[in-house]
Structures are given as C-alpha cells and as structure tokens.
Amino acid sequence: EVQLVESGGVVVQPGGSLRLSCAASGFAFDDYTMHWVRQAPGKGLEWVSLITWDGGTSFYADSVKGRFTISRDNSNFSLYLQMNNLRTEDTALYYCAKETYYNYFDSWGQGTLVTVSS
Amino acid sequence: QSALTQPASVSGSPGQSITISCTGTSSDIGSYNFVSWYQRLPGKAPKLLIYEATKRPSGVSNRFSASRSGNTASLTISGLQADDESYYYCCAYAGPSTRVFGGGTKLTVL
C-alpha cells in the first residue's frame, strides 16, 4: 500500500525558514516524479513544486520561486521542501503527492500544516 | 500560470445529475489530454476521480464521468447521493514544468 506521510509543519514567524519532509513507502519511490501541493485556509489547491525521479530537475510555482527548494533522498525514500523567507500567505496545509507516468496524482499524504504568523 | 476556472458552487437533489466545468487555456487543457479531477472531503486527502480527461480509476463509481473539449473540461456526477457533497478540483498538465489546479467547486446535495 502506498503511504505518504508529511511532517515538519509548525508555526513560524514571517521571514523565517522551515523544512518539510515526506516519508514514502509502498512503491518504487525512485521511479516517480513527486510534488508539493498546498491549500491555504478557505482557498483551493495550489501546485507548489515538482522534482523528477532522479532529483535532477525541479520546477516551482511563481509564488514560491526563489524562496522554496524541493529535494529528495531516494536512498531514504524521502521528499523535502525547504521554505525560506516565509510570508503570511504561505500559511497552508502542505501535501506531498505522487505523480504517475500519465501526469496525474494517484497518491497523497494527509498534509502538514504550516502557519506563518507573528 | 493562472488557476483554472471552476464555478464556486453547484447544487442538486438526490438522484439528479450535475456538471462542473473547468476552463483553462490553449496552454493547458487546450493542449494536453492530461486533465484530472479530485474529490476533497473535509479532513481527508484529495481522492482521484478521473485521469486523462475521461478515464476512471478502478474503485471509482461509474456515476462519475468526464469530458474535455477545447479549453474546457467537465465532470458529471449522475444519480447524486448525499455523500457526494464535497469539494471538487480539476487539475491540468501545462507542460513539463508546471501543473495548474482549478479554484474548486463546492457541491451541495439538497
């Protein structure tokens, strides 16, 4: 059974930094592109970032470009999101999601809550 | 990349059918058949309902169907049931560097 378990969400002040983690199990982690998707309170889902199976290529939404860095450790079946210079508008539930070869998300974690507030 | 456009809310009575539209651009829905739909129940992770615009994963009720034409995709739920009440999101592949979600539609079963 595929499992994705996010962790690392806390309350942080504006301008602060945070690293989210996603522990994967139940599938060949190093075969798949992985994503971070977030949902701010009262808002819809927003795609944040992706990283290819080998970690060689990553992309970001304009809203986080230059502040967030996605990475992965295939030997430890883990996905990460380093979040710097956090803003109040980054407050959201952050999900990691596994993408299939046909560009849809077939597995999601339960999410980890990041609150940016002074 | 702007969000896909979905109606904020739709409603229907049990047994009826409803359709949720998802409008994008020629850069996303208009260019690729990689449109997916997700159901988001409160407190739960999003659940895949439709992939590649029209395909239903095993285990998803055949009351859920979808289509794509031009820059617009649509999700239809037939035989509405009370537990269909939820938020629904479309998502489109917009090239190798990005994905884009719709704003979400709240379905109310009257």
pLDDT per position as a tens digit, A56-100: 999 999 999 999 999 999 999 999 999 999 999 999 999 999 999
Flag whether pLDDT at B15 surpasses 90: yes
Residue B30 CA to residue B98 CA, distance in Å, equals: 15
**In this predicted model, what pLDDT tens digit does every residue of A18-57 receive, in sequence order?**
999 999 999 999 999 999 999 999 999 999 999 999 999 9
Phi then psi dihedrals of residue A88, to 5 deg: -60, -30
pLDDT at position A107: 96
Tell me the average pLDDT of chain B: 96
- The amino acid that residue A42 corresponds to is G
Looking at the complex, report in whole angstroms how far the Cα of residue B82 sits from the nearest Cα belonging to chain A.
Answer: 22
Closest CA to B39 of B60, B16, B19: B60
Tokens, residue A88? 């109040």
| Interface residues from chain B to A (CB-CB < 8 Å) | 1, 3, 32, 34, 36, 38, 40, 44-46, 48, 51-52, 57, 87, 89, 91, 93, 96-104
Give the one of A47, A62, A111 whose C-beta lies nearest to B45's C-beta: A111
In a mutagenesis test of the A interface, which of B31, B99, B106 is the best target, namely the one with the most A β-carbons within 10 Å?
A: B99
The stretches of A1-118 forming alpha helices (DSSP H) are none
Residue A49 CA to residue B2 CA, distance in Å, equals: 15
Residue A88 CA to residue A53 CA, distance in Å, equals: 31
Tokens, residue B10? 């739709």
Flag whether pLDDT at A104 surpasses 90: yes
Q: Return the HEC string of A69-95.
A: EEEEEHHHCEEEEEECCCCHHHCEEEE
Flag whether pLDDT at B1 surpasses 80: no
Residue in chain A closest to B58 (alpha carbons) equals: A106
Looking at the complex, report in whole angstroms how far the Cα of residue A75 sits from the nearest Cα belonging to chain B.
Answer: 25
Flag whether pLDDT at B43 surpasses 90: no
Q: Report the pLDDT averaged over residues A106-114.
A: 96
Closest CA to A95 of A14, A20, A32, A12: A20
Flag whether pLDDT at B56 surpasses 80: yes
Give the contacts of B36 (CB within 8 A, at least 6 positions apart).
Answer: A103, A104, A105, B48, B49, B50, B51, B52, B90, B91, B92
